[in-house]
Amino acid sequence: MSDMQSTSGAVRLDGKAIAEQVRVELAAEVAEFKAAHPMFRPKLVALQVGERSDSSVYIRQKAKACKEIGVEFEHVQLDNSIQQAELDARVDSINNDPAIHGLLVQLPLPAHLSTRHVVQSIRAEKDVDGFHAENIGWLSKRDGSPYFHPCTPLGCIELLKRYNIAIAGKRAVVIGRSDIVGAPVAMMLTKLDATVTLCHSRTANIEELVRDADILVVAIGQPEFVRADWVKPGAAVVDVGMNAMDDATKKAGFRWVGDVHPGAAAHAGFLTPVPGGVGPMTVAMLLRNVVASAKRHYAAASTVRIVPSVLNLADPVPSDIVIAQAQASALKPIAQLGAELNLAPRELEPHGRHAAKVTLDVLDRLDGIRNGHYVVVTGISPTPLGEGKSTVTVGLAQALYAHLGCAAFACVRQPSQGPTFGIKGGAAGGGYSQVAPMTAMNLHLTGDIHAISAANNLVAAAVDARRFHEATQTDAQLMARLCPPKRGMSQFAAPMLRRLQRLGINKTRPEDLDADEVARFVRLDIDPERIVWRRVLDTNDRFLREITIGEASTERGMSRRTGFDIAVASEIMAVLALTTSLADMRQRLARMVVAMSRAGEPITCDDIGVTGALTVLMKDALSPTLMQTLEGSPVFVHAGPFANIAHGNSSIVADKIALKLVGVPAEPGFVVTEAGFGADIGFEKFINIKCRASGLVPDVAVIVATVRALKMHGGGPDVVPGKPLADEYTRENLELLERGFANLRRHIENVNKMGLAAIVAINAFATDTQAELELVRALARDAGAYDAIPTHLWAKGGAGAVELAQAVARCCADKSGAEGFRFLYDDNLSIKEKIEAIAKQVYRAASVSYSEEAERKIEQFAANGWSSMPICMAKTQYSFSADPALKGAPEGFDLPIRDIRASLGAGFIYPLCGAMQTLPGLPTRPCFYDIDIDEDTGDIVGLF
């Protein structure tokens, strides 16, 4: 040190000056790191129980020191009467907050609280005091590396280093064996290759040992315990003691003395003053620990750990459920997967061992983090042969993750139990490209669809109940029951106040309404012929498609015809998929139209007062469910709206969270999300509805096709369930394949029309010939595809899609995918103009015709101000036209619009092209015949 000071021969180990220098260095380090990493925000929390004045002084000193170096400081002061359980909960909350990098509990604690328990409750990686048993344990090991060294011992070592005092090979004596200073500093000196003797008050030959010490650290808490003549000439003496000794000459009545007699300065080579020696260094080292912790947390949060699970491939490929059960032991606990993604414990809500809800808090924490690459998987027009979009979605994510070493997420819809027990089966992918556990995914999972059913049916019950009560009560009776007196005073509920505002009645007390205002307020005047809200269930039941309700005598003859839909057809499902936050979901639920009044006015959920209850029922469903693929890559399963009457995509919040989580690494990862049905339906709606609502822009689209499905579009024979496939599908037929390619060409053109590159994934089957695969590849490239690649994901998992994954990565890196991204139509176009843009530009219709009902509603919707919403065409998925029998790429046809409806909550208008079935029925031989349980193992069998 250039400014060393000497007193009576000993060099003063100036802790105050060194501490100030450390703070200056830390301030520069923090500022430099923040400049390079704007999201870096180091934070320390000090937790204090009670109001001891000395503790408060120490905390204010730490707060000031933190502010000086750019560290955020929070003082949490708790009442002296707090009980252990409540204090534990506060500590746990801080432990699990990723924005907090250090926690210290100001000691002493009140006698009724366990200091040891509280100190050990702090997570070792946030224990910036260095007191946790894990940190001390690692310190004691020769090759151990604790998260933190205790601050005072670290300050002692730092003083020795700053004054270039040699430690290795020297004899060091430490007096005092406390867990806070003596024992840790002895271990630290030992690690620095000193020969250490640890003494205490009962050490017999302590004077003799001290006289031989080159380095002496004293922390015994006894004033002037070490006499001056004990100190070896030239020794380095670190006096940790701070003892108050009576001194009438001092204003305070005492003076501070150390554990070493001040006369030692005549013998020692180096000596710390008291005060001004070790004390300032303790706070400086605390700051150093906080900064180190924040940088360590930042580094960990800036990577996604890629930990693939090994696939054990079998040939021939077994059934999906046999594969799933064989891989069950390789699945990661969901907490491990969350940790690999840097999810904080409080952001993960486990539902069993292999699924968890991920809270939307992640979006707030990662606000400002760039997004990863956004890949949408779509397909050709579906056929009964199946194209395997879900399999490709999952397998592509597996290939990116397990074989290219990229952070990768798959985002898929939650399947309905209707198809699971009906005819289609589940939607977890297939073969060795599956979401796991597939049984959980295809059954109840985390109960989101049940929540939707409950919410939907609550609305239905509320609508019919309100109609009944209005028909059987006077205005005064309705008013009295809607606003019953409480403690002698009537008042409006929150939704009632909102209804009053919509009615233009600016009054807040029931008694202030006149008779006309009361009538307008209490009478929704629901037209029973124009109730559009139907009940739902998650089972295929054809006999509930059309029913009559209200047949009991208690309903006083107020029966009406209605029906059930499948749960995933509920508008609430579409709301869930398109919402961006809890507040946004609440607003969407509020504006859902349930009926029309006799005067033709729309009646919403908020009008019937059910908005808050719906939000409560849907609160947990808002969080996406984290699962994994068979190869250990993360998957979000969330929402499952119909792809014909709704938009057929998984949720916006799932995509957004996934994009942030994979956007953290230096090389951003990939989110692979699936759009339902063919590109004319699911992809078009993904672009014009989902991306409009989310603000997200995809990088590339993957179109899934199969040789045999293209042959069907080329004129191949119909497929009959239970009968073997015709030879046209199992033998080489290049002519039929080339004719059917017209369907894929149209989809490639439509993707390019939206400004995106299209990569064709040819989902290969064993019956496909090399010539057929090469033909599709060549034709796709000629049609404008970025690339076209055969895949074998079903039989090989991610290994069967490596070339596809490389093409996707290459396309994203080329920046050639989304530079010209555009919506198909502008918001300000009329409803008809938007419909015709889709019909003529995507479907290639020559004209659009409208029924009288559709014409009437278009006028009504325009008058209501609903024209700005996007269009969600409700059309058969099997053809570009409204006729499912027209395969291939028909054009020049008329697209008939028989009706048009509005989903104000979801935020779109959906025209109906032909009859749409919203509640499937069970076939002659449903899937449930094969589903059972093994009574010995408890394993589910026969589920695909």
In the chain, the N- to C-terminal Cα span, in Å, equals 76
Say how far apart CA 680 and CA 667 lie, in whole Å.
Answer: 33
| DSSP class of 700 | E
Query: Which position has the token pair 């899934």?
Result: 704
Q: What is residue 318's three-state secondary structure?
A: coil
CA torsion 896-897-898-903 (nearest 10°) is 160
Burial string for 895-919 (b: 16+ CB within 10 Å, else e) reads bbbbbbbbbbbbbbbbbbbbebebb
Respond yes or no on whether the N-terminal peptide bond of residue 275 is cis (omega within 30° of 0).
yes
Sequence-distant (≥ 6) Cβ neighbours of residue 861 within 8 angstroms = 831, 867, 900, 902, 909
Cis before 223 (ω within 30): no
Q: Is 357 helix (H, G, I), strand (E, B) or coil?
A: strand
What is the rounded distance in angstroms from the CA atom of residue 366 to the CA atom of residue 361?
A: 9
CB contact at 8 A, 458 and 617: yes
- Contact (CB, 8 A) for 127 and 135: yes
Angstrom distance (rounded) from CA 389 to CA 674: 7
Which pair of tokens denotes residue 177? 């064996």
Please report how the helices 389-398 and 802-814 are oriented relative to each other, as an axis angle in degrees rounded to 10.
Answer: 80
Is 660 in the active site?
no
Residue 353 · residue 671 · CB < 8 Å? no
SS3 string of 272-308? Answer: CCCCCCHHHHHHHHHHHHHHHHHHHHHHHHCCCCCCC
Neighbouring CB atoms inside 10 A of 657's CB total 29
DSSP 322: H
Please, what's the b/e burial string for 276-301 (b: 16 or more CB within 10 A of its CB; e: otherwise)? bbbbbbbbbbbbbbbbbbbbebbeeb
Q: Is 851 exposed, middle or buried (0-12, 13-18, 19+ CB in 10 A)?
A: middle
- Residue 803's alpha-carbon distances to 145, 400, 759, 761, 809, in angstroms, are 42, 10, 11, 10, 10
Task: Specify the pairing of strand 171-175 against strand 195-199.
Answer: parallel
Q: Which two tokens stand for residue 719?
A: 């497929």
List residues bridging with 256 in a β-sheet: 244
- The dihedral over CA atoms of 635, 636, 642, 645, expressed in degrees to the nearest 10, equals -120
Q: Nearest-CA neighbor of 653 among 633, 697, 684, 623?
A: 623
Of 16, 34, 43, 62, catalytic = 62
Tokens of residue 18, six digits: 């060194």
Give dist(CA 610, CA 486) in Å, integer.
21
Q: Is 368 left (phi over 0), alpha (psi -120 to 50) or beta?
A: left
> How large is the C-alpha radius of gyration of the chain?
36
The number of C-alpha atoms within 13 Å of 648 and in the hemisphere containing its C-beta is: 31
Q: Say which residue the tokens 């009632």 belong to.
A: 496
Positions marked catalytic: 62
